[in-house]
Structure 1
């Protein structure tokens, strides 16, 4: 989505500049990686958000955001599938971890964070879903805040009052403009929300859509200084694994996406307390969703399961 955000202001110049700022790592485990070298579609990307800084390999690096980005053949529509952070899964052995059952957001930590953590997380997801990925991106939230500020903020519509547990902010219902700090604070809240973590997932999906919409409204082409700063900020925010695909080709493939063609998807699931610990368990429809992503029937699945789908 960040790459698609930049794609609206040009391809060649962005690719050349972005190649010089990007951090590249092998984020996907071999078991989770496709053997494709094209972008004809469908495309499946793993998107992971954390507070990790470049070079940070310390402990306690759980992931706040896990998204599967699915773009069907034709590359004109997209689905942002949020994986619940508390989803109970079987994590395979890796990175010194012997393997076992736990919440999916611990896989990144058990792998040691960074590249190894992303690999263990991707292996966990592939084992659960059967989905193999065409690439992956690791997003640093602090850098994302800078990107939002350079865009001049984003417009977010608050549906129910949200009180931050991190600051003294209160987000009142209604559409409003937020700067980077406000937007990231808002989308990381889940306590006291009617839908808990499911509402948080929706808010994160809306933020990505709002960033894409904001970019389409700005005049970055006519402001080379601002464009350079934005490219630098995006480059500093992302660690990318394109599976060998040139960034220019990826930008070209994504440039047709817009908020009008993007859908937010939640995995059919339900919360359950096990041994005084709160988990999320898959519903039967969860495997149906993963099957649709692996095949070519995602639009049909979305039409038949509207309760789990929202427009950005």
Structure 2
């Protein structure tokens, strides 16, 4: 949904019309995780899920690589990207496809639900039970589509702080700001081994990629380049499944059109690693220090000020 906000700067009805014809629409939120009514004049909470699985796919090993809660306070002039650790130990409810429920890493909820929209629903209710947050919508992102969008935008500028060697390719990412194409950027933001903060650094890099994409979309002046605009919309639409909780897409895009990329804050959930029965998990630190309550009660600005360790200005 943050990517949609970046594209919304073009302010064109053609964007909405084109997107409406290409995007997949599904019920990604379980009723127990869905806000009864979305008010675009109030604070908004969206669930953003990234997976290698194509939208609509189902089957084993479809765990989610990225889980973000996007909190936009009333006024829609800033946004907090709350990264949920994928190894967070949680109670996952039973699912309709035969999973009986139990303790597991949160990124397994998508798989236990069967992947696709059903997996997203199980993940959403798992998060709702953990956090108390009810969502205004959700988006399921296919990473192959993200690669296409980054390439169509001419790459993104990413600043590498610590040298890291990819576990997927022979790439070595060296310190310094550099232009990355889609394959390079997605490879970089999925690394966690060899980084000082491990998965926490990976979360920050994924948040930084979202900002870099917003900035690049603005630099490309998509409103004056209809050919590239059409290409980007097709790539975005083909890589997303969305649930807007009944809000017309045009209204949502117009509401988010003025959200600036420099007003994004990256938030990590207060937590710590723990080994249980020789398996590495992440545990909530002191109930996440009131983070989830701050999201629910529109108190994120105060929480961020009181908890600078867990907040990054992107």
Shorter-chain TM-score category?
A: over 0.9
Match of 2:296 among 294, 297, 312: 294
CA distance in 1: counterparts of 2:38 and 2:69, whole angstroms: 19
Return the match for 1:224 from 204, 215, 226. 226
Distance 1:285 1:256 in 2: 34
Matches of 2:179 and 2:166, distance apart in 1: 17
Q: Retained in 1: the 8 A contact 2:189–2:209?
A: yes
CA displacement 1:95-139 (0-9 Å, x = unmatched)? 311010010000000000001100000000000000000000000
TM-score normalised by L of structure 1:
0.98
1:44 maps to 45
Shift of residue 166, structure 1, vs aligned partner: 0.3
Matched, 1:161 2:166: no
RMSD, matched Cα: 0.9
Could you list the per-position Cα deviations for residues 40-90 of structure 1 after superposition, in whole angstroms to 9, with x for gaps in the alignment? 120000000001113321211000000000001111110000000000000
Q: Secondary structure at 2:303's aligned position in 1?
A: helix
SS at match of 1:46: strand
* 1:220–1:226 CA contact under 8 A, matched in 2: yes
Aligned mates of 1:100, 1:230 — CA distance in 2: 41
Tell me the alpha carbon deviations over residues 224-265 of structure 1, each in whole angstroms, 9 at most, x when there is no partner: 111100010010111000011111111111112122111000
Inter-partner Cα distance in structure 2 for 1:111 and 1:219: 40
Distance 2:273 2:259 in 1: 33
Shift of 1:222: 2.1
Structure 1 residue 5, shift from structure 2 partner:
1.8
- The CA deviation string for residues 185-208 of structure 1, in whole angstroms up to 9 with x for no partner, is 000001111000000000000000
**Matches of 2:175 and 2:211 in 1, distance apart?**
19
Report the equivalent of 2:264: 262
Asked whether the equivalents of residues 55 and 141 of structure 2 are also in contact (C-alpha less than 8 Å), the reply is no
Instruction: Give 2:11's aligned residue.
Output: 10
Task: Say whether the 8 Å CA contact 1:11–1:248 is kept in structure 2.
Answer: no
**Which residue pairs with 1:98 in the alignment?**
100
| SS across alignment from 1:244 | coil
The answer to whether the 8 A contact 1:139-1:239 is kept is yes
Aligned counterpart, 2:121: 119
Q: Secondary structure at the match of 1:8?
A: helix
Gaps of 5+ in 1: none
**Residues 40 and 74 of structure 1 are in contact (CA less than 8 Å); yes or no, is this contact kept in structure 2?**
yes
User: How far apart are 1:219 and its partner, in Å?
Assistant: 2.4
CA distance in 2, matches of 1:167, 1:114: 27
What is the rounded CA distance, in whole Å, between the counterparts of 1:309 and 1:224 in structure 2? 37
Q: Note if contact 2:11-2:254 (Cα within 8 Å) is conserved in structure 1.
A: no
Q: Report if aligned partners of 1:129, 1:287 keep a CA contact under 8 Å in 2.
A: no
Gaps of 5+ in 2: none
Q: Give the counterpart of 1:194 among 193, 196, 201.
A: 196
Are 2:124 and 1:137 aligned?
Answer: no
After TM superposition, the runs of 4+ consecutive aligned structure 1 residues lying more than 2 A away are none
Q: Using the alignment, how far apart are the partners of 2:55 and 2:69 within structure 1? A: 23
Q: Does 1:303 align with 2:305?
A: yes
* Alignment partner, residue 151 of structure 1: 153
**CA deviation string 1:268-287 (max 9, x = no partner):** 00001011000000011515
